[in-house]
Each structure stands twice: as structure tokens, then as C-alpha cells.
Amino acid sequence: MSELELNPRYIEAVTRVVNESPYFALLSMEIKELKWGTSLLEVQLGEKHLQPFGFVHGGAIASVMDAAAFWAAFPQVEKGIGLTTVEIKVNYLAPAQKGKLVALGRCIKMGKTLALGETIIKNGEGGLIAHGTATMMVVPDLRIPGYEDLPPSR
Amino acid sequence: MSELELNPRYIEAVTRVVNESPYFALLSMEIKELKWGTSLLEVQLGEKHLQPFGFVHGGAIASVMDAAAFWAAFPQVEKGIGLTTVEIKVNYLAPAQKGKLVALGRCIKMGKTLALGETIIKNGEGGLIAHGTATMMVVPDLRIPGYEDLPPSR
Amino acid sequence: MSELELNPRYIEAVTRVVNESPYFALLSMEIKELKWGTSLLEVQLGEKHLQPFGFVHGGAIASVMDAAAFWAAFPQVEKGIGLTTVEIKVNYLAPAQKGKLVALGRCIKMGKTLALGETIIKNGEGGLIAHGTATMMVVPDLRIPGYEDLPPSR
Amino acid sequence: MSELELNPRYIEAVTRVVNESPYFALLSMEIKELKWGTSLLEVQLGEKHLQPFGFVHGGAIASVMDAAAFWAAFPQVEKGIGLTTVEIKVNYLAPAQKGKLVALGRCIKMGKTLALGETIIKNGEGGLIAHGTATMMVVPDLRIPGYEDLPPSR
């Protein structure tokens, strides 16, 4: 599929539904921006993200890596069709402790049955924190609750 | 290092410090058992773990995968020396929605500078949910706060 | 699918076709044993496998990792249906220089659309050389040339 | 380390030693270009790269992925210090059959003990074939035979 412009009503609806979903709220994780094939997510870091040694747990970093890759790719599947993550890989490049995580997701390939996304995670000062990839599989009948009929692109 | 028996006081201290740490509490994740080279962790699933489609977020599964591999390996480094996760890989094999996640961690190799751990995650009924690996690096001067002088093995 | 016994004529045919295929011959790589859900492959190491520093190139190790995981899983798809590798992950645990590589493949999960395999690679003395996983996708109409009608199990 | 210009004599020496090494010759794999933090490698595909189904074996693709990431990063370690690959991840995006593989390697991060590289592999027509990453570890006393004293940068 060639590059398209996303439907602003779709972006608004997806952003609201996703940001209000339980796990996003739990981790203070938010979609900040969605474009065709890219995403920008942020995590506001707090005490709750820390492991016993006082650094952000790798699982929190993996969560935003996965989410940024997924939401960069998701708008490229047809209405009514969904994506599910098959596997993820994360490289931890520097520890994080406070401030925020900024995750830039990118869809490397959207195929008929599989997609590959990539995420670069930085801290609030622009320092590289992590890099990762996610393989996703196209699945039928996975819709965003409440927005089943909204076309992703215009 | 050949197989050793872990010090019961060490197990008790590590389990308490880790289970009370912020991210473990946030995710309702707990170490249930630690032995030489293996770990058993559980996550009590609730509404808070769900993504917008109603399934447990892949990031929550990645969190317990990482933690189980890490704590299976950690007791094998010398007192006063620590481990940090370099990269993780998770394969999602079936969706999870409620009940619990049971994660069995295993240390595949503990080397002088790097270690490799593996985790198998099942649901409460024994169904396979995910498989993953974690590469860890030995780092100096990473101690468990409050238990700096406790020897891991006896 | 529950565990089945492989058809000896199928094992013989697959082993011959695969071992005579160009890349297997190029790398001196051979299937030695196939059972339901497991494989045993070997690489006879020689000068040709070495990188500039005098060790076996990681790509040769990745090749046998991929092949062992693939052939452990392949007999579990229906006749006339095939598998293709979607992604691989390899951890290098110790260098290899000569002798042989022994790769033990295992099918962790065979699903309707995806499969996961794992390979442990040792040297001729039983020392651990590498560990890896491969995600495979079920694809229609991929047959072993010359043996299209041979049922894998009996 | 900030970006530097590579020493032309170093590039020439490394390219010759690597391209003449046994595994590179076996796979018809060649370094075509090395710059600070990037590499360009090619594989001339032939019958020998094929698996039993008539496509290029995933192990050949993994080999050039690993090599391109490695040689993009290698010139950034100090003279007399070396790198060794710790783990690789490859996503296969489309099959290849003939012509050539063009691999573009890039060093994402060079740290004090670990480095991360990424490779994008295309076919001769520019079609995306694979994407991968490699984690490397800095090791002392790994020198390019015959060129131990050549400084990488000028």
C-alpha cells in the first residue's frame, strides 16, 4: 500500500481508546502522535517504574517499544482487520531513572500476513535508551471497541 | 561454577526486596521460588494488565519473562557483583486474559561477562503463553539494597 | 496435533533431499536424525567456515540453528503444506574452531499459522556453542521436490 | 566517540583481509564499502545458496546480516581491541532466489563494553529482503592478522 494520510477522526478515536486502556494508564504511557507508518509515544516515569536497583524495569521499556511499533503499523491494515504481536526483541542501551521515555515507532514492512515495526526509545534529553523490533501478524476481526467503522485513512 | 545450594536467608531476603519493589508491585508480579539456576514467578492478572482489545498487554508478558530469566541467573554472580539485562526476545504463543501467568526461568549459561536465561510462561491451566530469552551482562558494584553482604550460596 | 511417529520412508526421503540440497552441501551440514518434533543436525567444520580471526563465522552457526529448528517442526505440517522461516534469534555462547557442530532442534509449538522452534548447538566434546529460536509460518503449496505425496507420519 | 574519517589504508587492508577470508569466499560475500559507522556488503547469489525449496537459505541471509553489522561497528574500537558478536536477530521479509544481496550495515551504538548494529538487506532491484540487528561485545587482543598496527581512523 502506498503512503496515505491518516483520517484525523481515526487518529483522535484510536488515541483516546488506547490511552484510556488499562495497561496504558497503569504505565502512564500515551500515544502522542500517529502518522502513516510512524508513531510517537511517551511514558511519564515515576517511582512505580523502578526495579529493586532503582532503575526503570526493562519490562516497562519493552512495553512502550512494543506499543510504539504496533501503533505505527496498525493504521495500515484494512478496516475490521487487526494485528497481533508475534514476537518482540529489545536491546537495552542505557539505563533510565526518571523524566520520560520517548518512543519513536516506525513500520518497516506491512505485508499481507506479517508486518515488522521498529522502535527507538530516548530519554527526555534525547539520550538513546533502547532499540527494538516487533513482528506482527494480520488477524481477521480485531476491531477497536467503539470505533469499528472508522476508516484509518482518507 | 558447579551447581550449588542457595542460602535460605539469601532467598528470603531477595524475594522480599524484589517483591516489594515498585514495578513488581505495580504489575502484581512475585517471585514464588528461587533455586540454583531456576526461578518461578507469578503475575496475578487483572483488568489493569489489559490492552484495548481486552487481552493481556505484551509488555506485561515481556516484564515477567525478563524478570524470571534475570532472577534465575542473578544468584550465580559473586556477592557484590551484579547483572544487568542487555537484550530480551519474547515469542507470544497464545493470548492471555485472566487468572495468572506462571513464569519458569532458567539460566542456560553463566559466563564471566555474559549470561543467557530462558523463560517459559504458562497460564494457570498450564497452557503455553510465551517463550523468551534474556542476555545479561555482569557488572561490578550492583548490590541488593539492604542485603549487600548476604552470600547467595552456602 | 498429538505426538505421532514419523513415517520411515518420509524421514529417508526428506533427509536425502535436504542433505543433497546446495546450501547444505556448501556448509557440510547434514540432517542426522528426525523424530516427531526433534532433529539432530551436524556440520563438519573445516577451514571454509572460518572468519578472518580464525573462528567459525556466526553465519555458519546461524545456518545450522535455523535448519535444525525448521526440520524439527516441518514434519508436523500436513502433506502439501509448507513452512517458511519468519525470523531467527541466535545467542553465541562460546567460539568454535574445528571438529563439528551438533545441533539439537526442538519444536516448542506448532500452531495453525505459526510455529516456534528452538536449537541448542554444541561442539563435538559437548560444550555449549550457541542457543537460538526460529519463528516459522505455515504456507500453502510448499512441497519437497520429488516427494510431494509422501505422508510425514504413519 | 564522535564521527571520524576512516584511514584509507585501513579500509583497504580490512577489506582485503576480510574478503579473502574463507567464509566470505565460500559464500561469495564481499565488503564493498566501509565508512565511519556504516558498511555496504554484497553476496553474488548462485545455485550454492539455495535450500531444498529453491530459495536462498536463511543462513546465508543471516551471514551477510551479521557481517554487515559487525564491519560497520568494528572500525570504531581502538587499535588492538576487537569485537565479537554476542547475538543476532534476523527478520525475513521476502524470499530471494538469484541476482545479489545488498546489505547496508549501520552502527546504532558503540559503548564501552557493548555495541549494537543494524542491517537492511535488499535484492539487486532494491526490494527489501531482510532486517536484522547484532549485539557485539568489546574484547581485548583481537587483531586483524597482518594489520595489527594500522589505526582505523585518521
CA distance B53 to chain A (A): 7
pLDDT above 80: residue B2? no
User: Which distant-in-sequence residues (6+ apart) come within 8 Å of A9 by Cβ?
Assistant: A150
**And the C-alpha cell for A62?**
519493552
| pLDDT tens, residue order, chain A (154 aa) | 567 888 899 899 999 999 999 999 999 999 999 999 999 999 999 999 999 999 999 999 999 999 999 999 999 988 778 899 999 999 999 999 999 999 999 999 999 999 999 999 999 999 999 999 999 999 987 777 776 677 777 6
pLDDT band at D154 (very low <50, low <70, confident <90, very high): low
**And the C-alpha cell for B101?**
501467568
For residue range C111-154, list pLDDT tens digits in order: 999 999 999 999 999 999 999 999 999 998 777 777 667 777 76
Q: What is the pTM of this model?
A: 0.95
Q: How far apart are CA A74 and CA C84, in angstroms?
A: 24
Q: Would you list the DSSP string of D41-81? A: EEEE--GGGB-TTSSB-HHHHHHHHHHHHHHHHGGGSPTTE
Residue to mutate among B65, B87, B89, B91, with most C CBs inside 10 A, is B91
Nearest residue on chain C to D148, alpha-carbon basis: C53
Secondary-structure breakdown of chain B: helix, strand, coil percentages, each rounded to the nearest 5: 25, 40, 35
**B58-73 and A58-73 are packed helices; what angle lies between their axes, rounded to 10 degrees?**
150
CB contact under 8 Å between A116 and D89, yes or no, is no
Using DSSP, state whether B71 is helix, strand or coil: helix
Query: Chain centroid to CA C13: how far?
Result: 15
pLDDT at position B79: 75
pLDDT band at B140 (very low <50, low <70, confident <90, very high): confident
**C58-73 and D58-73 are packed helices; what angle lies between their axes, rounded to 10 degrees?**
150
Contacts of B21 in chain A (CB under 8 A): 50-52
Q: Would you list the DSSP string of B74-108? A: GGGSPTTEEEEEEEEEEEE-S---SSEEEEEEEEE
Q: How far apart are CA B76 and CA C131, in angstroms?
A: 20
pLDDT at position D80: 75
Q: Which amino acid is at D106?
A: R
CB contact under 8 Å between A60 and B23, yes or no, is yes
User: Which distant-in-sequence residues (6+ apart) come within 8 Å of C1 by Cβ?
Assistant: C76, C110
Average pLDDT over residues D36-60: 97
CA distance B94 to chain C (A): 9
pLDDT at position A2: 65
Contacts of A47 in chain B (CB under 8 A): 22
CB contact under 8 Å between B89 and C89, yes or no, is yes
pLDDT band at D129 (very low <50, low <70, confident <90, very high): very high
C neighbours by CB contacts (3+ pairs under 8 Å):
A, B, D
For Cα atoms D79, B86, C133, give the angle at the middle one, nearest 5 degrees: 105
CB-based contact C17:C143 (threshold 8 Å):
no
Q: Please list, residue by residue across A47-81, b when 16 or more beta carbons sit within 10 angstroms of its beta carbon and e when fewer do.
A: ebbbbbbebbbbbbbbbbbbbbbbbbbbbbbeeee
Q: Which of A138-147, D13-22, D67-76 has the lowest mean pLDDT?
A: A138-147
Place of cell 556504516: D38
Phi then psi for B94, rounded to 5 degrees? -160, 150
B neighbours by CB contacts (3+ pairs under 8 Å):
A, C, D
pLDDT above 60: residue D1? no
Phi then psi for B63, rounded to 5 degrees? -65, -45
Place of cell 503455553: B128
When CB atoms are compared, the residue of C89, C113, C114 closest to A89 is C89
pLDDT at position C154: 67
**Burial category of D99 from C-beta neighbours within 10 Å (exposed 0-12, middle 13-18, buried 19 and up):** middle
**And the C-alpha cell for B48?**
489493569
pLDDT at position A41: 98
* Number of Cβ within a 10 Å radius of residue D17: 17
Classify residue A147 by its DSSP letter.
-
What percentage of residues in chain B have a pLDDT greater than 90?
A: 81
For residue range B83-113, list pLDDT tens digits in order: 999 999 999 999 999 999 999 999 999 999 9
Chain A residues in contact with chain B using a Cβ-Cβ cutoff of 8 Å:
17-18, 21-27, 47-54, 57-60, 62-64, 66-67, 82, 84-92, 95, 142, 144-145
CB contact under 8 Å between C114 and A89, yes or no, is no
**β-bridge pairing C100-110 and A29-35:** unpaired
Contacts of A98 in chain B (CB under 8 A): none
pLDDT above 60: residue B58? yes
For Cα atoms C72, A117, B59, give the angle at the middle one, nearest 5 degrees: 80
pLDDT at position C119: 98
CB-based contact D103:D41 (threshold 8 Å):
yes
Nearest residue on chain A to C133, alpha-carbon basis: A87
Q: Which of A116, A71, C1, C141 is nearest to B59 (CA)?
A: A71
Using DSSP, state whether C19 is helix, strand or coil: helix
Average pLDDT over residues B51-65: 97
Q: Which of B82, B142, B94, B90 is nearest to B122 (CA)?
A: B94
Strand partners for C131: C91, C120
CB-based contact B49:B57 (threshold 8 Å):
yes
**And the C-alpha cell for A20?**
484510556
What percentage of residues in chain D have a pLDDT greater than 70?
A: 96
Q: Which amino acid is at C138?
A: V
Contacts of A89 in chain C (CB under 8 A): 89
Chain B residues in contact with chain C using a Cβ-Cβ cutoff of 8 Å:
89, 91, 93, 108-109, 111, 116, 118, 128, 131, 133, 135
For residue range C89-113, list pLDDT tens digits in order: 999 999 999 999 999 999 999 999 9
Across the beta sheet with D128-140, the strand order is C29-35, C38-44, C100-110, C114-123, C128-140, C81-92, D81-92, D128-140, D114-123, D100-110, D38-44, D29-35
CA distance B6 to chain A (A): 20
pLDDT at position C66: 98
Contacts of B89 in chain D (CB under 8 A): 89
pLDDT at position C95: 97
Kindly state the greatest CA–CA separation across chain D. Answer: 48
CB contact under 8 Å between C116 and B93, yes or no, is yes
For Cα atoms B89, B95, B96, give the angle at the middle one, nearest 5 degrees: 105
Q: Which of A107-111, B81-85, D7-11, D145-149 has the lowest mean pLDDT?
A: D145-149
pLDDT band at D17 (very low <50, low <70, confident <90, very high): very high
For Cα atoms B100, B103, B107, give the angle at the middle one, nearest 5 degrees: 175
Q: Which of D89, D90, D146, D134 is nearest to D110 (CA)?
A: D134
CB-based contact D51:D95 (threshold 8 Å):
no
pLDDT above 70: residue B125? yes
Strand partners for D115: D110, D136
Strand partners for B4: none
For residue range D130-143, list pLDDT tens digits in order: 999 999 999 987 77
Nearest residue on chain C to A136, alpha-carbon basis: C86
pLDDT at position C20: 97
Q: How far apart are CA D142 and CA A41, in angstroms?
A: 41
**And the C-alpha cell for C73?**
517442526
For residue range B4-23, list pLDDT tens digits in order: 888 899 899 999 999 999 99
Q: How far apart are CA C73 and CA C87, in angstroms?
A: 14
Classify residue D151 by its DSSP letter.
-
Across the beta sheet with B29-35, the strand order is A29-35, A38-44, A100-110, A114-123, A128-140, A81-92, B81-92, B128-140, B114-123, B100-110, B38-44, B29-35
Q: How far apart are CA A126 and CA B2, in angstroms?
A: 44
Q: Which of B57-66, D28-37, D83-92, D137-146 has the lowest mean pLDDT?
A: D137-146
pLDDT above 70: residue B142? yes
